[in-house]
Copies of this chain bind each other. A is one copy, B any other.
Amino acid sequence: MSEEMARKEKGERRKLETNEIFIGNKPFMKYVIATIMQLKENKNEEDTAIIKARGKFISRAVDVAEVVKKKFKETENIELKNSVTIGTEGFTSEEAKKINISTIEITLKK
């Protein structure tokens, strides 16, 4: 299989892997570095990193975005643009209860 075909097949998954950073329980700086890498490595049209989080991790997602913005300003003298969307995801718990959880998506762009 050609590399082109392989990439096509993995399409959506590949995009998720490279472009998005999901915030969870890992050490804070892991997310900061992952986001910076994403923005620096980028050579194609998708020069963005998308920081995503749910529930209590939303505050952390904002912290990660702000630290990345600060570091880019200090080391590269680049002011990152950011856009933020919030939303709600609904799911059903093990006890068949309907649960809503808030979500955030912070898109950082050079």
Contacts and interface: CB of A to CB of B under 8 A. Distances in A.
- Among A62, A66, A87, find the residue whose CB has the most chain B CB atoms closer than 10 A: A62
Given A57-B59, A59-B59, A65 B86 contact: yes
A63 B102 CA distance: 6
Q: Give the size category of A's interface with B.
A: 20 to 34
A58 interface: yes
Interface string A32-73: 000000000000000000000001111100110110011000
A88 B66 contact: yes
Nearest to A63: B102
Query: Nearest 5 CB-CB pairs, A to B?
Result: A84-B84, A58-B59, A62-B102, A66-B88, A59-B59
